[in-house]
């Protein structure tokens, strides 16, 4: 494996949890719900997936538990913001705080346990193609899943009737409701999908990326995922680009240090954040002023009577 | 045991001036010991090892000693937590991060009858001791192992922050490697975090991608050594024994062993013999412990054991003079045949052969 | 079955005031249940968390110390949130305010500089925070870049700037190369209000900000404009209010107050610059702002309540060996309950059997 291939491989794995979590949030936001609880759902996903994987000695069960935990957290959020029409920003924040705390309680007995690596899936023949072979055809399942998920979400949002309904509700829930669209039901499932994705991303961190659990191991990645949704202007394709740009900036700054350029490491560490802001700035310059935030994003829905 | 005055008179005249009497201690039947941790007890590194030490106290004095801890105390907000311990009947309080230095000093002044111990700092008072461990002794040994074992002739180091303790560790590691392999190269990456497993793992992968085949780390999680294991390369455990995370990759681990020290200091409070001290323990006092040398040829193992014995007995000092700086000039030798403790504790230069610059 | 929400027309002020109290009781019940599940006494926990801190002068003082920066930042954030602008970067504005103010403290260190140092430091703190807050505001008004992303990313950047400074150029030359600046001179130290106490003048700033905000929101055109921009942006435009000017001003206000909190903490509490100068005050303050329902008095109460959970959380670790995570989970539950209770007061919830329309 050449250095170049190796670096690309690291970038892909570093970006994958961000991409998965952000995809879920993208769908929720497209339905008009802003859920700032990604970090908390992800933390719960990491803790529950690891606890289940160790207890039952099964990665598959672990992944399922992680997704379930994320979805349950999301259901709690849905109850508060849909059922009670509570403020979404505040509730999302509360969900993050709650999730970080609860995940600590759940994970505590599993400190020091470890899991074996999940073997990469090697697609014979294809993985022998130089450069792109290993990059595209010898990854762990999650990487394939994340890319498949991106495509599926993109198709769902743009090519299906249900996706259209979801988008209409996100654009303007009042008129969508007047047209007889089930605002609550769609949003409920969108929020749940977001939670399951965040849980999956957490499971990826705990079961594949580090293979052990520790408190606060999400280390702010949920917030980055939220930022990436904005960066991508709520479009799955751009999300893929954004997640990989961020992942690349994160990994390349480490390489820049190892290559001994003599630049302060703090400056290099700041590169991913600055790069995201600058990339977003350039994007908005190119696309003009309006970047497509769903019209009803963040607004509580109360039908007129 | 447990000797080594760190800065002597340097410790800050103001603090020393306070050393009027130092309350005369009485033996006690029961002692309450409190701990302030900077991270969660589950961090599996720094705070975790201090907690192992806390549990050792409970085991050593059944029925006589109770212990408590407050975890994840932010450094900027620690004064209150320390004072809470002081107000709730604790006789001995350990604050276990450098950032707790000023708050510990403040609270210690307010509660002259309570004993305080601050890890890795340099400000003392009649009721405030300081203690730290010479981890660089262990790093010299792993440097030798890495220098012997490397095939690519490039060894790597994941650091947390470019602070003196980490820089001294890097120098000791490299000097060890150089002592057995004069042409060895080192690559260094700072993760700018003590604890973010995924990021530490990324830093390790970046080094491995650049051809490093021996990986030392000065961040707390097992992620870097795990990355080495996944690539079939070698690494060294940090803070705790990480063998179960990397059974094939871990050559040895440098373990923070606070248990002996904590038990000794608690006993001193029980006996009424506690005095404000400045302790810098190393291999000789078991504050730094090497786990069994594994996964290496016998000759390397022998070398490592000999070096460990030599450091233990005091015949070898990792920073024995002459130490040559990056500019090729000899560093002034302020200690006896080796750099002085002050020079090591405040180290802000790389030795000759390291091509990187210290990020400032 | 599904449920329906209908806005209540007349909500009495009594109900509005009682809602958070009810939320409190509910979240305490939930927490008590969890503690009982963990095999500890919920009553003892309540005593350690609430009764003891509130009946001990020392804890009451610590409560004020902890609540000061939270209230100061949260009151600033309330301007942004009222206008539906999501500044989640107060942590960064706090740090940059502290950095800019400390610059003067370090410049005048060891000189005979007089009484002017401290006021100027505080002013620099405000300016630093405000300027840093204006970056996302400018990017939003000029280029339409979402403020959530930029304000958050700038937090990380601010922390790295601070990190660079205290490990590099601003490091105390006599500090054995440890990452911290020199200790500030007395002329650059914000004094405590009572000589032996720990409550510094930041508390006075916070109180002033709360009163001023109450006046501004209730009695000025600017306050009305904020409310209108938040509740009905189109109406605000028709009324001739520039949303750009509003955006810039609320970000400047909230950034400035966060900056003031930063420099006050550094010069009043910590006494020097170090890599970590905030235990996440900027983020916790978002909770405080919402817990206080963006109302100045509410924020004051919320800041004290959140401070209480921190202090109670430490006591619970010491006295009952309850883990810190429990405290955090409780904070989350409390906030959820308050927000839900608030909504319950504003809306009537009816359960309707499925049938008829979907």
HEC string of B5-47 equals: CCCHHHHCHHHHHCCCCCCCCCCCCCEEEEEECCCCHHHCCHH
Average pLDDT, chain C: 88
The residue ranking higher by pLDDT, C110 or B274, is: B274
Count of Cβ atoms closer than 10 Å to residue B271 Cβ: 12
Model confidence band, residue A141 (pLDDT cutoffs 50, 70, 90): confident
Helix axes C90-107, C243-265, angle to 10 degrees: 50
**Contact across the interface for A273 and C161, Cβ inside 8 Å:** no
pLDDT higher than threshold 80 for residue A299: no
Which pLDDT value is given to residue C1? Answer: 45
> What is the extent of the structural domain holding A91?
3-113+132-286
Q: pLDDT-derived band of residue A188, with 50, 70 and 90 as boundaries?
A: very high
Does C231 contact chain A (CB < 8 Å)? no
pLDDT given at position B15: 39
Side-chain half-sphere exposure of A58, counting CA atoms within 13 A? 8
What does the pLDDT read at residue A35?
94
Q: What is the CATH number of the domain that holds A181?
A: 1.10.3470
- Categorize the per-residue pLDDT at C353 as very low, low, confident or very high, splitting at 50, 70 and 90: low
Q: Which pLDDT score is estimated for C118?
A: 94
Place C113 in a pLDDT band, splitting at 50, 70 and 90.
Answer: confident
pLDDT at A129: 62
Q: Pick the residue from chain B with its C-alpha nearest to A255.
A: B206
Q: Residue B304 pLDDT more than 50? A: yes
Which of C2, C4, C339 lies at the smallest CB-CB distance from A90?
A: C339
**pLDDT, mean of residues B308-316:** 95
- CB of C131 within 8 A of CB of C262? no
**Which structure tokens are listed for C267?**
């010069």
Residue C105 lies in a domain: yes
Interchain proximity B76–C279, CB inside 8 Å: yes
A3 with B211: Cβ contact below 8 A: yes
Q: Do A10 and B44 touch (CB under 8 A)?
A: no
In-domain check, residue C213 = yes
Lowest mean pLDDT among A109-113, A115-119, B281-285, B293-297: A115-119
- What pLDDT was estimated at residue A133? 57
DSSP string of B329-351, one letter each residue: PBPP--SSSB--HHHHHT---PB
Rounded to an integer, the average pLDDT of B298-325 is 95
A119, A210, A249, best to mutate vs chain B, most B CBs in 10 Å: A210
Confidence band of B8 (pLDDT split at 50, 70, 90): very low
pLDDT, residue B24, reads 53
B51-55, B70-74, C42-46, C176-180, range with the lowest pLDDT: C176-180
Q: Is pLDDT of A304 > 60?
A: no
* Contact at CB, C160 and A180, closer than 8 angstroms: no
Q: Is residue C334 part of a domain?
A: no
Residue C111 lies in a domain: yes
**Nearest-CA residue of chain B relative to A101?**
B40
Nearest to B99 among C58, C176, C274 (CB): C274
The pLDDT, as a whole number, for residue B58 is: 95
Domain count, chain A: 1
Check residue A132 and give its pLDDT.
58
* CA B247 to each of CA B229, B234, B236: distance values in angstroms, whole numbers, following the listed order: 8, 10, 11
Assess C339–A contact: CB distance below 8 Å, yes or no: yes
- A124 located within any domain: no
Q: How many domains does chain C have?
A: 1
DSSP one-letter code for C189: S
Confidence category of residue B11, pLDDT binned at 50, 70, 90: very low
Cross-chain residue pair C86–A90, CB shorter than 8 Å: no
- Pair C289, C314: CB distance under 8 Å: no
Q: Closest approach of chain B CAs to the CA of A68, in angstroms?
A: 23
Please, which pLDDT band fits residue A263 given cuts at 50, 70 and 90?
A: confident
Q: What is the pLDDT of residue B161?
A: 84
C169 and B360 in contact by Cβ < 8 A?
Answer: yes
SS3 content of chain C, % helix, strand, coil (to 5): 70, 5, 25
SS3 B251: strand
Q: State the average pLDDT over residues A130-148.
A: 71
State the CB neighbour count (10 A cutoff) for residue A109: 13
Enumerate helices (H) and strands (E) in chain B, giving the number of each.
11, 12
Longest dimension (CA), chain A: 66
**pLDDT above 60 (res C354):** no
By residue range, what is the domain housing residue C99? 68-307
Minimum Cα–Cα distance from B72: chain C residue: C324
H, E, C per residue of chain A: CCHHHHHHHHHHHHHHHHHHHHHHHHHHHHCCCCCCCHHHHHHHHHHHHHHHHHHHCCHHHHHHHHHHHHHHHHHHHHHHHHHCCCCHHHHHHHHHHHHHHHHHHHHHHHCCCCCCCCCCEECCCHHHCCCHHHHHHEECHHHHHHHHHHHHHHHHHHHCHHHHHHHHHHHCHHHHHHCCCCHHHHHHHHHHHHHHHHHHHHHHHHHHHCCCCCCCCCCCHHHHHHHHHHHCCCCHHHHHHHHHHHHHHHHHHHHHHHCCCCCCHHHHHHHHHHHHHHHHHHHHHHCCCCCCCCCCCCCCCCCCC
C46-81 CB burial, b ≥16 within 10 A, e <16: bbbbbeebeeeeebbbbbbbbbbbbbbbbbbbbbbb
Q: Is A251 on the interface with B (CB under 8 A)?
A: yes
User: Is A301 within a domain?
Assistant: no
- ipTM of this complex: 0.86
At residue B6, the pLDDT reads 38
Chain A environment of C2 (Cβ under 8 Å): 184
Whether the predicted pLDDT of C355 surpasses 50? no
Residue A276 pLDDT grade (very low, low, confident, very high; cuts 50, 70, 90): confident
pLDDT in tens, A221-249: 999 999 889 888 899 999 999 999 889 98
Q: Collect all residues of chain C within an 8 Å Cβ-Cβ radius of residue A87.
A: 290, 339, 342-343
- With CB atoms and an 8 Å threshold, state whether B99 touches C280: no
Yes or no: say if C94 and C225 are a contact pair by the CB < 8 Å rule: no
The pLDDT value given to residue C232:
74
Tell me how crowded residue B159 is: count the other CB atoms within 10 A of its CB: 24
Instruction: State which residue of chain B sits closest to C164, comparing Cα positions.
Output: B360
Burial B31-68 (b: 16+ CB within 10 A, else e): bbbbbbbbbbbbbbbbbbbbbbbbebbeebbeeebebb
Nearest to B84 among C272, C318, C324 (CB): C318
DSSP per-residue letters across B191-244: -S-S--HHHHHHHHHHHHHTT--EEEEESSSSHHHHHHHHTT-EEEEEES--TT
Beta strands per DSSP E along chain C? 2-7, 347-352
Q: Is omega for the bond preceding C48 within 30 degrees of 0, making it cis? A: no
Q: Please state, for a pLDDT cut of 90, what percent of chain B lies above it.
A: 76
Could you give the residue range(s) of every CATH 3.40.50.2300 domain in chain B? 8-133+257-281, 135-248+290-345
Of A84, A100, A277, the CB nearest to C150: A277
Q: In this structure, is residue A305 part of a structural domain?
A: no
A19 occurs within a structural domain: yes
Asked if B255 and B288 count as a contact pair (C-beta separation under 8 A), the reply is: yes
What pLDDT does residue A134 have?
Answer: 57
Q: Per the CB < 8 Å rule, is B87 touching C58?
A: yes
Pairing of strands B128-133, B278-281: parallel
B135-248+290-345 homologous superfamily: Response regulator (3.40.50.2300)
pLDDT in tens, C235-251: 777 777 778 888 999 99
Torsion of CA B318, B322, B323, B328, to 10 degrees: -160
Is residue A276 in a domain? yes
For the stretch B187-224, pLDDT in tens is 999 988 888 888 999 999 999 998 999 999 999 889 99
- CATH number for B8-133+257-281 (one of 3.40.50.1100, 3.40.50.720, 3.40.50.2300, 2.40.160.20): it is 3.40.50.2300
Nearest Cα to Cα of residue B194 among B225, B163, B226, B169: B163
What residue of B is the nearest CA neighbor of C61?
B80
Q: CA-to-CA distance for B199 and B186, rounded, in angstroms?
A: 20
Closest residue to B187, CB basis, from A111, A258, A263: A258
Q: For residue A217, give the nearest of A226, A229, A208 by alpha carbon.
A: A208
Q: What is the pLDDT confidence band of residue A113, given thresholds at 50, 70 and 90? A: confident
CA atoms in the 13 A half-sphere facing the CB of C63: 22
% of chain A exceeding 90 in pLDDT: 46
CB contact under 8 A, A280 and C149: yes
- pLDDT tens digits, C62-85: 999 999 999 999 999 999 998 888
User: pLDDT grade, residue B1 (50/70/90)?
Assistant: very low
Expressed in angstroms, the distance from the first to the final Cα of chain B is 36
Whether residue A268 contacts residue A210, with contact meaning beta carbons closer than 8 Å, is answered with no
Q: Specify the range with the lowest mean pLDDT, choosing from A25-39, B52-66, C28-42, C226-240.
A: C226-240
């Amino acid at each position: 494996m050449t250095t170049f291939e190796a670096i690309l491989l690291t970038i892909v794995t570093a970006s994958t949890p961000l991409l998965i979590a952000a995809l879920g949030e993208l769908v929720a936001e497209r339905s008009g719900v802003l859920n700032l609880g990604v970090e908390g759902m992800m933390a719960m996903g990491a803790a529950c997936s690891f606890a289940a994987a160790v207890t039952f000695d099964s990665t598959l069960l672990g992944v399922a538990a992680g997704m379930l935990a994320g979805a349950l957290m999301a259901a709690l959020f849905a109850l508060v913001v849909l059922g009670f029409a509570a403020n979404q920003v505040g509730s999302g924040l509360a969900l993050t705080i709650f999730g970080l705390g609860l995940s600590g309680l759940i994970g505590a007995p599993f400190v020091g346990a470890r899991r074996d690596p999940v073997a990469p899936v090697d697609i014979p023949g294809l993985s022998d193609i130089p450069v792109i072979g290993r990059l595209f055809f010898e990854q762990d399942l999650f990487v394939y899943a994340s890319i498949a998920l991106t495509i599926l979400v993109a198709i769902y949002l743009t090519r299906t009737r249900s996706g259209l309904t979801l988008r209409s509700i996100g654009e303007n829930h009042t008129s969508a409701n007047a047209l007889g669209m089930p605002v609550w039901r769609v949003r409920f499932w969108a929020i749940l999908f977001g939670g399951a994705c965040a849980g999956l991303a957490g499971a990826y961190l705990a079961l594949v990326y580090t293979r052990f659990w520790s408190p606060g191991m999400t280390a702010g990645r949920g917030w980055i995922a939220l930022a990436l949704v904005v960066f991508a202007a709520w479009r799955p394709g751009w999300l893929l680009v954004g997640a990989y740009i961020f992942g690349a900036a994160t990994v390349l700054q480490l390489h820049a240090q190892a290559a001994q350029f003599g630049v302060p490491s703090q400056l290099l560490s700041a590169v991913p954040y600055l790069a995201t802001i600058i990339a977003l700035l350039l994007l908005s310059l190119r696309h003009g002023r309006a970047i497509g935030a769903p019209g009803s994003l963040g607004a509580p829905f109360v039908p007129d009577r | 045991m447990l000797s080594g005055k760190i800065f002597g008179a340097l410790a800050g005249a103001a603090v020393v001036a306070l050393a009027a009497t130092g309350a005369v201690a009485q033996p006690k039947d029961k002692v309450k010991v409190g701990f302030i941790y900077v991270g969660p007890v589950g961090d599996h590194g720094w705070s975790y090892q201090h907690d192992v030490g806390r549990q050792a106290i409970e085991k050593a004095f059944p029925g006589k000693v109770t212990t408590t801890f407050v975890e994840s105390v932010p450094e900027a907000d620690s004064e209150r937590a320390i004072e809470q311990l002081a107000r709730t009947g604790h006789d001995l309080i350990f604050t276990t991060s450098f950032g707790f230095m000023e708050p510990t000093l403040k609270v210690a002044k307010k509660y002259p009858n309570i004993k305080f111990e601050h890890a890795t700092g340099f400000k003392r008072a009649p009721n405030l001791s300081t203690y730290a461990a010479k981890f660089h002794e262990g790093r010299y040994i792993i440097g030798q192992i890495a220098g012997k074992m490397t095939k690519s002739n490039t060894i790597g180091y994941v650091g947390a922050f470019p602070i003196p303790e980490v820089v001294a560790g890097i120098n000791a590691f490299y000097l060890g490697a150089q002592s057995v392999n004069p042409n060895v190269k080192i690559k260094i990456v700072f993760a700018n975090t003590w604890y973010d497993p995924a990021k530490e793992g990324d830093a390790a992968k970046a080094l491995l991608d650049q051809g490093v085949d021996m990986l030392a780390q000065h961040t707390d999680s097992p992620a870097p050594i795990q990355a080495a294991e996944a690539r079939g390369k070698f690494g060294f455990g940090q803070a705790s024994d990480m063998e179960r995370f990397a059974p094939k990759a871990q050559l040895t681990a440098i373990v923070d062993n606070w248990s002996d020290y904590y038990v000794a200091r608690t006993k001193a409070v029980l006996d009424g013999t506690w005095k404000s001290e400045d302790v810098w323990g190393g291999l000789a006092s078991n504050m730094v412990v090497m786990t069994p040398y594994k996964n290496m040829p016998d000759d390397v193992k022998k070398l490592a054991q000999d070096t460990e014995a030599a450091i233990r007995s005091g015949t070898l000092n990792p920073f024995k003079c002459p130490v040559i700086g990056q500019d090729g000039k000899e560093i002034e030798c302020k200690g006896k045949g080796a750099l002085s403790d002050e020079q090591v504790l405040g180290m802000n230069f790389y030795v000759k052969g390291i091509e990187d610059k210290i990020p400032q | 079955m599904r449920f329906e929400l209908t806005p209540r027309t007349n909500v009495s002020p009594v109900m509005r005031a009682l809602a958070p109290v009810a939320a409190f009781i509910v979240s305490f019940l939930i927490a008590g249940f969890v503690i009982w599940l963990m095999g500890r006494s919920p009553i003892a926990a309540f005593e350690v968390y609430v009764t003891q801190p509130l009946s001990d002068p020392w804890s009451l003082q610590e409560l004020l110390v902890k609540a000061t920066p939270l209230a100061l930042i949260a009151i600033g954030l309330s301007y942004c949130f009222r206008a539906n602008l999501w500044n989640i970067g107060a942590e960064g504005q706090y740090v940059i305010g502290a950095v800019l103010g400390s610059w003067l403290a370090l410049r005048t260190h060891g000189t005979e500089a007089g009484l002017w140092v401290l006021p100027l430091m505080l002013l620099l703190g405000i300016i630093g925070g405000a300027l840093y807050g204006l970056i996302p505001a400018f990017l939003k008004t000029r280029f339409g870049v979402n403020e959530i992303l930029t304000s958050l990313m700038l937090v990380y950047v601010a922390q790295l700037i601070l990190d660079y400074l205290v490990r590099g150029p601003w490091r105390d030359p006599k500090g054995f190369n440890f990452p911290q600046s020199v200790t500030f001179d007395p002329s650059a130290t914000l004094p405590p209000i009572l000589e032996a106490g720990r409550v510094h003048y930041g508390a006075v700033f916070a109180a002033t900000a709360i009163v001023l905000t109450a006046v501004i929101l209730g009695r000025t055109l600017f306050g009305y404009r904020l409310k209108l921009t938040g509740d009905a942006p189109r109406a605000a435009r028709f009324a001739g209010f520039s949303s750009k000017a509003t955006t810039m001003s609320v970000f400047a206000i909230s950034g400035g107050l966060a900056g003031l909190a930063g420099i006050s903490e550094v010069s009043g509490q910590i006494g020097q610059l170090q890599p970590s100068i905030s235990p996440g005050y900027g983020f916790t303050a978002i909770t405080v702002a919402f817990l206080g329902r963006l109302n100045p008095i509410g924020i004051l109460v919320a800041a004290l309540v959140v401070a209480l959970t921190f202090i109670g959380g430490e006591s619970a670790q010491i006295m009952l060996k309850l883990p810190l995570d429990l405290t955090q989970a409780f904070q989350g539950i409390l906030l959820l309950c308050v927000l839900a209770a608030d909504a319950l007061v504003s809306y009537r919830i009816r359960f309707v059997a499925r049938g008829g329309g979907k």
